[in-house]
Amino acid sequence: MTAITLFEVWGRRLVPLFTLFVVFLWALVTSASRVALAALMPTGRLQPAVIAVPIELRTDLGIATLANLVTLTPGTTALHVSEDRDTLYVHVLDAPTAEAVIDDIKNGFERLIRRIEG
């Protein structure tokens, strides 16, 4: 592999990796703020849920990365990956709708991880 093609391969992965890092930091800050507000001002309006998130990742590293990013984000915990590796079960502290949570995970973390996987 020549230096140019090696750079092209890493370049295609470094941009999504950096983007994933920024997206994770933003999710970390915003969700930590929401969890802190829920703890400091309990209103009883939280809607906890366990949500089945369909995933399209195929590598063990990609699935583990997604599960870890979800768990590291305050207010969410990855509980289980289905045997067929098509579903990630996530506990969410406050889920107004399952579709919003699924959309957030799929269009945030999972989309970027798929780009990194190539």
> pLDDT digit string (tens) for 66-84?
999 999 999 999 999 999 9
Q: Name the nearest CA neighbour of 89 among 107, 100, 102.
A: 102
Angle (CA) 46-111-7 rounded to 5° is: 145
CA distances from 13 to 16, 21, 99, 115 (A): 6, 12, 28, 7
Q: How many CB atoms lie within 10 A of CB 38?
A: 16
Q: Rounded to an integer, what distance in angstroms lies between the CA atom of residue 42 and that of residue 83?
A: 37
Query: Which pLDDT band, with edges at 50, 70 and 90, does 7 fall under?
Result: low
pLDDT at 74: 95
